[in-house]
Structure 1
Amino acid sequence: MPLLRLLIALSLCFAAHVARAECSLGDVGALPERNLVHLPATRAAAEPMPLVILLHGSTGTGADMLRDSHLAGTADRHGFVVVAPDGGIAAGRGFVWNIPGVPTVTGVLPPEGARDDVAYLSDLVDRLVATGCVDAGRVYVTGLSGGGRMASWLGCVAAPRFAAMAPVVGLRAGRPLASDPAQADAETCRASVPLPLLAFAGDADTTNPIAGGGAPYWQYPQSAALQRWAALNGCSEPYARNLSATVYEQGYARCENGATVAARVTRGGQHSWSVVDNEAMWAFLSRHRR
């Protein structure tokens, strides 16, 4: 019996070793997105790292977003990976994201046969996890403007893949209601598990006003998105509070399974990454695991 117990223990240790591959930086470098993957300057030896997916705005690029967000510096300080891919539809000088049934910033629906960006981004996560460098339980998504809408869409249709999300000047909760674009269509955002959420916005944003309006194809206010996510996350207590002289937060507390729903709004903030506190974003994201 002692020998049998020893053999069982050894087999379990071997199985655990096989299940988690050691981080191979060469495998990361071999990915097609290699130039858009930022590995932190320092990391815990042999330990899989958290991953933040960073999605650019409409007609932008991943490279632009990585530069403008300064998230690489935050990753270096805290030891997480950032990947900043390009959207699947060429537009302007860059790309836009494919959210089915909703026109892009060009004013037309995604073309037939356009890349399925949900499938692409899910596969990208799988490929990064397979290198052994990324922890599958600590995958997060953020994005600016159109990238914030895409991050929100991932939350609606692929919530189990992510531990938390932080859309920037682009929080949504499904497609607009066909009969009333000023309302969210609840049937198009049915996240299967609670997903912690912290959005960032500015109250002087004229491109995507938090009170609603803006582009004719997606007009519902931030409050409608927050309310829908509160329902999805099982939250019961609305709140509002000042965080500083220039930033206030509104959201919902008492949510299920440790989820949260909140938006931080910068007074006088515009439609740009300038409304984000990267350290605060990472502090929020890093509290959550899937």
Structure 2
Amino acid sequence: MRRQSLGFVGAVLALLWALPAAATGCTLGTPGATVRVSVANSGRATMLHLPRGFARPAPLVLLLHGSGGTGAQMLDASKLADTADAHGFVVAAPDAGIAVQKGFVWNIPGVPSVTGKMPGPGDADDVAFLGTVVDWLAANHCIDRSRVYATGLSGGGRMSSWLGCVAADRFAAIAPVVGLRAGNPLASDRRVPDPATCTPSRPVPVIAFAGDKDTTNPIQGGGAGYWQYTMATALTRWADLDACRAGPVQRDLDAKVHEVRYADCRAGAEVIGRITRGAGHVWVADNDAMWAFFARHQRR
């Protein structure tokens, strides 16, 4: 009788193991498709793209739109869904929490948005919301918590920088595009970042992309009140935060792209800036290079 019972249990287990992963896995979307989904009980939504051939748990890339934009527009402009299909990661592209005309802006405390308005206590807490997105996708068996990354354009690049500063426990690496910051400009000298506003709890690998003809967020510094200090200053500050012992090493990757790299950083972090000559305030990221960088890093 015991032998028969064990045989029956074995047969049941074999049947369960043979069920498709989707039966107990992520059911929020269809692999290869992009859908708009409501996020838990947040009252907010995100565009979600599960890659073709989706296998769970997958890495997650949070894609953050620029000021005045939307997640849907950012997903289309970046072509990151195509990169996700090629490499097998999930993309979530939510809308920011502060409505502006036909789009949204991100709430980065202590600095004015592109409207000139300083976010107040009544505005949505975007750091908390993005944490909810991560938790919700993990609870639905869609993503691997140890491989969560953030990128974004312009205001979304500044927001992904802010996540590195204040939510390093959630993100394995960040990749700001025309928007790298390392904390808010210091009130007494806006040419440098305020160290009190960027205190990551762990080393954060950073790869940043920019164009040298960007007049909105100029790599040479200046510009709007939220910008001010140079991209080189931001890279140096991240290298200090990550305790990098080598660099900056500079080289031309090709005729158009120049790279600045800091290495030998604490906990295996890297800090890299890639500048495209002649490019302005657009998505200048090399998506495959971005993913290759992300894939080297996992949150411990």
Shift of 1:30: 9.3
Amino acid across the alignment from 1:154: L
**Counterpart among 47, 50, 53 of residue 42 in structure 1:** 53
Return the alpha-carbon distance in structure 2 between the equivalents of residues 188 and 135 of structure 1.
29
Shift of 1:158: 0.5
List alignment gaps of at least 5 residues for structure 1. Answer: 1-16
Amino acid across the alignment from 1:205: D
Percent identity, aligned pairs only?
60
Give secondary structure in 2 for the equivalent of 1:250: strand
C-alpha deviations, 1:92-123, integer Å up to 9, x for none?
22000001111000011013310110001011
Report the TM-score when normalising by structure 2: 0.86
Shift of 1:225: 0.8
Question: 2:46–2:95: 8 Å Cα contact kept in structure 1?
Answer: no
Matching residue of 1:265:
275
Give secondary structure in 1 for the equivalent of 2:129: helix
Return the alpha-carbon distance in structure 2 between the equivalents of residues 245 and 31 of structure 1.
42
Amino acid across the alignment from 1:268: G
**Counterpart among 254, 265, 268 of residue 244 in structure 1:** 254
Question: 2:46–2:94: 8 Å Cα contact kept in structure 1?
Answer: no
In the TM superposition, what are the counterparts of 1:106-121 in structure 2 within 5 Å?
Answer: 106-121=115-130
Question: 1:181–1:217: 8 Å Cα contact kept in structure 2?
Answer: no
Structure 1 pair 113–70 and aligned structure 2 pair: CA distance change class (3 A):
same
Matching residue of 1:143:
152
Report the TM-score when normalising by structure 1: 0.89
Matching residue of 2:210:
201
Question: 1:141–1:164: 8 Å Cα contact kept in structure 2?
Answer: yes
Question: 1:210–1:221: 8 Å Cα contact kept in structure 2?
Answer: yes
Extract structure 1 runs of 4+ deviating beyond 3 A.
26-31
Structure 1 pair 41–108 and aligned structure 2 pair: CA distance change class (3 A):
same
The reply to whether residue 25 of structure 1 matches residue 27 of structure 2 is yes
Matched pairs, number? 268
Greater Rg by CA? 2
Give secondary structure in 2 for the equivalent of 1:102: coil
Give secondary structure in 2 for the equivalent of 1:84: strand
Give secondary structure in 1 for the equivalent of 2:168: helix
Give secondary structure in 1 for the equivalent of 2:296: coil
Question: 1:52–1:140: 8 Å Cα contact kept in structure 2?
Answer: yes
List alignment gaps of at least 5 residues for structure 2. Answer: 1-16, 18-22, 40-44
